[in-house]
Amino acid sequence: MRKKLIAGNWKMNLCAKEAESFTKEMKGTVNTDAADVVFCVPYVHLSAVRDILAGTHIKVGAQNMHYAEDGAYTGEISAKMLASMDIPYVIVGHSERREYFKESDTEVNLKALTALNSGLTPIICIGETSKQRKSKRTFNVIRKQLAFAIDEMSAEDIAKIVIAYEPVWAIGTGETATKEQAEEVCALIRDEIKAAHGAAAADAVRILYGGSVSPDNAGELFSMPNIDGGLVGGASLKSTFEKVVHF
Ligand code: PEP
């Protein structure tokens, strides 16, 4: 039985004092063992948020990392640095990074492999654009992005990673995928993993849905058989995130 995972993606929001007071507020309402709850926060807030959440069930994640172990990459952060700060999760390949920072499928794969090597859990994002869905290419796009993302991973690696199916047209738009649309793609992802790495890896891997999740739709989405929780942007920055966590 896979434990649900609800990850909040704060994106580039909240200054220091705001991050601290919001974390303190949420600590009181989303601290549960019924699901794994993760706050993926800007790098500069990692230590403060981690310290406020110490002793709770809530975990902290980063929103990106570089794939190199270390070196001359000014402005970048490595997986080793995150691991050394006891940050267990990192988002990899978010569509905003793919679009605005031109991250390629190959880079996403390298980041995921480096994260695993450092003992981090990568939350790997894949998803089709509106144009790709309208031209009925969703399944092919997902198959391709997934194959790149998990290249060179063993079945044991697969069992540790998290995949977030995030249709690009649903992110930050208020246009959520229906539970049937989301389930169909999450089931495809699991089937592909089963074909490549066997039933044990497919049963273990957690597959999230992301894209305008809200307190109103979290329950029906997260109750689908192949959806193991959500990656939540805008709604994770509101007090009502508590309703998403306790869907
Ligand atoms: C996200 O940031 O991954 C996301 C899904 O955002 P939102 O929930 O705001 O659509």
pLDDT tens figures, 3-31 = 999 999 999 999 999 999 999 999 999 99
Question: Which atom of ligand 1 has the smallest separation from the CA of 94?
Answer: 3
Work out which ligand 1 atom sits closest to the CA atom of 91: 3
pTM of the shown model:
0.98
Residue located nearest, by CA, to atom 3 of ligand 1: 233
- Give start and end residues of each alpha helix (H) in 54-120: 79-84, 95-100, 105-117
8 lines ligand 1 (CB under 6 A): no
How would you classify residue 174: left for phi > 0, otherwise alpha for psi between -120 and 50, otherwise beta?
Answer: left
**By alpha-carbon position, which residue is closest to atom 5 of ligand 1?**
211
Residue positions annotated with a catalytic role: 94, 166
CA of 89 to the centre of ligand 1 (A): 17
CB neighbourhood size of 131 (10 A): 10
Residue 141: pLDDT band by 50, 70, 90 thresholds? very high
Q: Mean of the pLDDT values across residues 23-50?
A: 97
d(CA 189, CA 203): 11
Which of 39, 40, 96, 213 to mutate for ligand 1's pocket (most ligand atoms within 8 Å of CB)?
213
User: Tell me, what's the pLDDT at 1?
Assistant: 83
Cβ–Cβ < 8 Å for 180, 219: no
Atom of ligand 1 nearest to the CA of 210: 5
Question: Is the pLDDT confidence value at 51 over 90?
Answer: yes
